[in-house]
Amino acid sequence: MTAGFPAAAAALRRDKAALAAGALEATIAADPEFEPRFDEAGLRRLVHDAETLIERLAMCVASNDGRWLAEYAEWVGPILRRRGVSQWDIAAVCEGLRKAVAPTFGPDELAVMDRSLGAAIAVFKKNGRLAGDSHKRNALLKWLYRGV
């Protein structure tokens, strides 16, 4: 866990709560329809999820390896489905996390962060297409396949 940037990872862990709140604010600012989908308890859970994403991101930055966040994205899918949270919403939180964390990093740390978050977003979006995810479907396709 020292092959990458352990000082930047320590800074992420130290400011985890503020960065998670900033990530959720950036997500809500980017998509005005995001906030009405969740109640107050749901938003608090999303802040906690963002803190967990930051912890995994810190592991990626410290080790210079993006697999920690991508593997977490694979593992957390069933839990998100059980809670009724779309994986596309968590991908949006990852984008908000990218915007919240970017000003605190240098160019080398930023490259590791972009690779790690990009891999996690790809996993969330791929798994969000599977049956059981709670995002809004295409109305025409829903109508066409209603009898199947």
Radius of gyration of the chain (CA): 16
* Residue 57 is assigned to a structural domain of this protein: yes
Question: What pLDDT, in 10s, does the model give residues 1-31?
Answer: 788 899 999 999 999 999 999 999 999 999 9
Domain count along the chain: 1
Cα(93)–Cα(106) distance, integer angstroms: 21
pTM of the model: 0.85
Write out the two tokens for 56.
Answer: 């995994």
Please return the burial class of 143, using the count of CB atoms within 10 Å of its CB with bins 0-12, 13-18 and 19+.
exposed
DSSP 33: T
CB atoms within 10 A of CB 33: 8
Q: Is 1 a member of any domain?
A: no
In-domain check, residue 92: yes
CA distances from 117 to 16, 32, 38, 112, 142 (A): 16, 22, 23, 9, 31
The whole-angstrom separation of Cα 74 and Cα 8 is 25
Residue 30, phi then psi, degrees to nearest 5: -75, -30
Q: Which domain holds residue 132?
A: 6-144
Summarize pLDDT for 84-132 with one digit per residue, the tens: 888 899 999 999 999 999 998 889 999 999 999 999 999 998 888 776 6
Q: Tens digits of per-residue pLDDT, 45-98? A: 999 999 999 999 999 999 999 899 999 999 998 898 888 888 899 999 999 999
Residue 27 lies in a domain: yes
Distance CA 73, CA 23 (A): 17
Residue 59's nearest CA partner among 1, 121, 16, 123 is: 1
CATH number of the domain that residue 107 is part of:
1.10.490.10
Residue with tokens 């295409």: 138
